[in-house]
Structure 1
Amino acid sequence: MGQVLHGSATTTEAIRRAIQNSQESLRALARRYGINQKTVAKWKKRTSVADLPTGPRELKSTLLSLEEEAIIVAFRRHTLLPLDDCLYALQPTIPHLTRSSLHRCLQRHGISRLPEVEGDKPGKKKFKRYPIGYFHIDIAEVRTAEGKLHLFVAIDRTSKFAYAELHEKAGKMAAAQFLRNLVAAVPYAIHTVLTDNGIQFTNRKQDRHAFEHIFDRVCCDNGIEHRLTKVKHPWTNGQVERMNRTIKEATVKRFHYDDHAQLRQHLQDFIDAYNFGRRLKTLKGLTPYEHICKCWTKERERFRLDPIHQMPGLNT
């Protein structure tokens, strides 16, 4: 097997071994092998003929302090979150933390790879890419001490912008009004909505000769294509199903609400925090609002108004 030497090496292992075993002077050996006397002296002092590893002998970060590295290591071992999720969670505490410095820190401590989960992993399928304005819509039930409510949720397939409302009834009129409110709330044009085959969104098979469904009329009035999921295939609308679960885990599954008003206020606060503050891996670390602003700079023809006008707080 051939020797692996660094690019600037002037000696081989055989020459180095001969230098170490020779009794000749440094000048004589340097003349014989055509090298500098300092090189001869260096190999005379060493007991090995292998190149020393390059770089610092003690691995440490030039960007992170020991305390910050300890925080990162403890957080990773406790949460077992992926690299990007760790980055987004730690940056508020360590503002100068970058993705590369985080990765190098995890490598130094031997925790850059998460443990493999037992069992066969199903292959991940990527969603087909669509321009901004493709919304998934669904309905879920939630409860407060006052009674039952129907949660209408919509999420953009591309920007992940979410919109939600609570209604006491889940009829087709409520669904149609929800779509009108969604169109008014979004700063860009909606070109497609995907729903299930519930009576709130479409006529039943036995009613196929009835008048056009009001949800379809609202779609037509706003130039929106209405698509339906395949019957008994709820995973087709999986994005909004997952958003339903996220909302429930942040609200009704965690807190008790004495009345509907408390839940409505908390739901609105959560949706605002999600749209304007939650950084998503699928958006490469951007929030839904930041992604919308990015699209605004590239595809202004799709927008009805400048999204900066919908930013909460003062515009300065």
Structure 2
Amino acid sequence: MEIKLHANATTTPRVRKYLQESDKSDRELALELGISVTTVRRWRRRENTADRLTTPGKIHKALRQEQVALINALREMLQAPLDDLLFFVTQGLEIPLSRATLNRYLKPARPSRGTLLPKGKKALSAGIVPQQLNLHYFLLSLHREDDGEHHLLMAQEPVSGWWYARVYAGMSSRLLVNWLEEALTHCPVNIQCVETKGSSWCGIDLPAALDPWLLDKGMHAILISPPVDAQPVIVSTPLAEIIPVARNSTPDELVARLCLLVNEGRTQKKLGGITPQAFLQALRRDAV
């Protein structure tokens, strides 16, 4: 019969059985068999002679299901490597977890649609300059403790990964224009066009709401067709139970905190070892 032992085993099942049945002292058996006293005591305490499994019998989850969904959504939006994502989760959301735990709960990345555009310094080398904002809209159906329905508006500069986002309790054409004007004011570079998915957000006709204002600014919009159905993001648990920092922050303050960390909190290799904010500011200075 083939006997499989642990790679570092110093005893065989026959020796272990002898240890368990012997009347000699631990020290005498250790000297007799050329093993340590600790090994003798370990096997004398056990009732069998087989090696124990080295893998844990039960893996305890450190994250709630809602936290896993949130972190994977954040990863997809930011397209951040593991160490950067860990920084945003632990510092921005204040969810305590290790790098190994985070990696365990990340889902496989979705296959990209079409050709991925270069980012950072590679984009500049390819002649792609930061002059466009990609606009995103999400309808948030939050728990009643978080005041129910909210609207998340996000603007991203794709070359640097710079973000500007706000959360509003209501939605209107005027609010949309005011938000976009805020985003352009905060963005360190001169934006020439904006890109949206679909032609309607929360019943608002995007061309009717944005085109006159953009034309007045000397800019233009690119609408992605066909329209994308914005499915509401339903959160049936209070945010404070999912995101520790939400205990003392409103949803709007929370996304503002994340944007600040993304833009100024961590340097990125693809940007030449600086933050997205510093990357865009350097381009603006060079253009002057």
Query: Higher Cα Rg: structure 1 or 2?
Result: 1
Return the structure number with greater relative CO, CA threshold 8 A, min gap 6: 2
TM-score by length of 2: 0.48
TM-score by length of 1: 0.44
